[in-house]
Amino acid sequence: MTLEQLSDDQRVRIFNALADEKRINIIRILSQQDTRPRCSDIGRRLEISKSNGSYHLKILSEANLVHIEKEGVTKYVSLNKETFKQYLPGFLATL
């Protein structure tokens, strides 16, 4: 699948998710991590509230730019590098 094969709704989700400085910073943090941080770690690093962090992570997840995995009561977040590779090649290298 190439970008041309995405529906307009999918395009809007991806580019809307990338249209916010906090979400760009989340992606930057994740691209520099060797391990998958907890969702709460991301919020603390950006100095934003838990609810604000959850909001931004939800938008990134809905755009399929990040994976959020729950283990017990803890949620971990990681980049969906395949989405970036397939639809936004070179983007992560610009961060």
Q: What is the pTM of this model?
A: 0.87
Q: For residue 5, what pLDDT is reported?
A: 66
Q: For residue 7, what pLDDT is reported?
A: 76
Q: For residue 19, what pLDDT is reported?
A: 96
Give the closest residue to 30 by CA, choosing from 19, 41, 14, 16: 41
User: Which amino acid is present at 4?
Assistant: E
Q: What is the mean pLDDT of each run of 10 residues along the chain (95 residues)?
A: 65 92 96 91 92 95 96 94 88 91
Q: For residue 80, what pLDDT is reported?
A: 94
| Structural domains of the chain, ranges and CATH numbers in brackets | 7-94 (1.10.10.10)
Q: Rounded to an integer, what distance in angstroms lies between the CA atom of residue 86 and that of residue 78?
A: 17
Residue 31, class by beta-carbon neighbours within 10 Å (0-12 exposed, 13-18 middle, 19+ buried)? Answer: middle
